[in-house]
Amino acid sequence: MAADGAGTEDAGAPGGMTFDEFEARAHAMWEEIPDAYKAGVDGISVQPQAEAHPDRPEYYTLGMCFTEPYPSGYMGPDSTRSIVALYHGSFQKVAERAPAFDWEEELWETITHELRHHLEFLAEDDALEGLDYAMEETWKRGQGEDFDPWYFQSGLPLAPGTYRVEYDVYIEQVWQEPAFQAASELEFEWDGARWSIPRPDVLGDVHFIWLHGLDAGGGWVQLVLVKKRGMGERIRALFDSGPPELWESEAEPARLGDAPESPGPDDGRPGRAAGGPPPAPSDDDPDPDDGPDPDEGPDPDDDPDAPTGEPHG
């Protein structure tokens, strides 16, 4: 699990942790996770160093799941052992860059994120890694099939919380229900500008908002609202087989000002190495500026005055 950051040697943002505090809190969180979900994991290892991402040095790896299968006739916790590594120095680096960095929240996110990698390995679900998986889930969503609503997180990171999957861009925002209901507008950054849209009525667990009029570099820009859960609720929901509450809506952003450091449509856009650009449009193709294909998003002829937030079936 990686995040954006810059250098510092202290505990970082207010509420930061020393190494000893970080190590103690990490082990306490580990004990809160039911043993059934930790089968095959030998524990956590807290390291003091910062681990820069090998391909993007401005990003730091907060944690890693190291897994080693042993010879066996089946793939299970008795033949597959993992250890979760956490990097205190990486947390320091990211906290320096982000004053609102929540050490407690990010530590829990990192532990559970890496634990999921172990469980995915046990399930032999290698497709959960990488862009191919995100593209497959995008296709399922467009076809109206069941899909992983967090698929976009497997895309190419353009900035913290911003991902590209081929020609589409996803800007993720995490909200607690009270803060969401208190907001009248939602703000985000894209293509050198700050933008705002009216808050939709419903947060749900994951809410995709198709943003009209923004250039994604060939596809759509979507604002993805993700509900932030309390720790106890998230322990129960982490491996819950019940479907999440999904919503889709659309909005037309209003420009608020400049954001020169924000990513734009040319960042991470695939070229010939990824199979080339989309086919040249024909007279039968809809204008991308007028709305998405009905199989890929909202109908551009929908009543703009209709209530926002349509449940995804």
Examine the domain organization and report whether 190 and 115 are in the same domain: no
Examine the domain organization and report whether 77 and 159 are in the same domain: no
Pairing type for strands 221-227 and 59-61 reads unpaired
Examine the domain organization and report whether 54 and 148 are in the same domain: no
Q: 96, 124, 152 — which closes off a domain?
A: 124
Examine the domain organization and report whether 119 and 170 are in the same domain: no
Residue 74's pLDDT is 44
**Number of domains the chain is built from:** 2
What's the CATH number where 72 sits? 3.30.2010.20
pLDDT (tens digit, 0 to 9) for every residue of the chain, 313 residues total? 656 554 333 444 446 899 999 999 999 999 998 887 788 888 899 999 999 877 667 778 899 888 775 544 444 445 567 889 999 999 999 898 887 888 998 898 889 878 877 776 665 555 346 777 888 899 899 989 999 999 998 888 899 899 999 899 999 999 999 999 999 999 999 999 999 999 999 999 999 999 999 999 989 999 999 998 766 566 666 666 568 899 999 999 999 999 999 999 999 887 433 333 333 444 554 454 454 444 455 554 544 444 344 444 4
Q: What are phi and psi of 196, to 5 degrees?
A: -140, 145
Examine the domain organization and report whether 152 and 236 are in the same domain: yes
Q: Is 132 inside any structural domain?
A: no
Residue 45's pLDDT is 94
How far is the C-alpha of 30 from the C-alpha of 286, rounded, in Å?
51
Q: Is 161 inside any structural domain?
A: yes
Examine the domain organization and report whether 262 and 166 are in the same domain: yes
Structure-derived torsion over alpha carbons of residues 266, 271, 276, 279, reported in degrees to the nearest 10: 10
Examine the domain organization and report whether 167 and 68 are in the same domain: no
Examine the domain organization and report whether 14 and 61 are in the same domain: yes
Residue 313's pLDDT is 42
pTM of the model: 0.51
Q: Is 136 inside any structural domain?
A: no
Q: Is 134 inside any structural domain?
A: no
Helix locations, the chain, DSSP H? 19-32, 88-97, 103-122, 131-142, 177-182, 231-237
How far is the C-alpha of 124 from the C-alpha of 265, rounded, in Å?
35
Q: State the amino acid at position 287 in one-letter form.
A: D
Examine the domain organization and report whether 169 and 32 are in the same domain: no
The domain in which residue 12 lies consists of: 2-124
Name residue 196's beta-bridge partners: 187, 254
How far is the C-alpha of 110 from the C-alpha of 230, rounded, in Å?
15
Residue 166's pLDDT is 86
Q: Is 138 inside any structural domain?
A: no
Examine the domain organization and report whether 248 and 169 are in the same domain: yes
- For 268: left if phi > 0, alpha if psi spans -120 to 50, otherwise beta; the answer is left
Residue 269's pLDDT is 81
Residues 161, 164, 169: CA angle, nearest 5 degrees: 80
Q: Is 238 inside any structural domain?
A: yes
Residue 247's pLDDT is 97
Q: 61, 89, 124 — which closes off a domain?
A: 124
Examine the domain organization and report whether 243 and 274 are in the same domain: yes
Q: 94, 124, 154 — which closes off a domain?
A: 124
Residue 131's pLDDT is 75
Residue 235's pLDDT is 62
Q: Is 129 inside any structural domain?
A: no
Q: Is 260 inside any structural domain?
A: yes
Examine the domain organization and report whether 118 and 158 are in the same domain: no
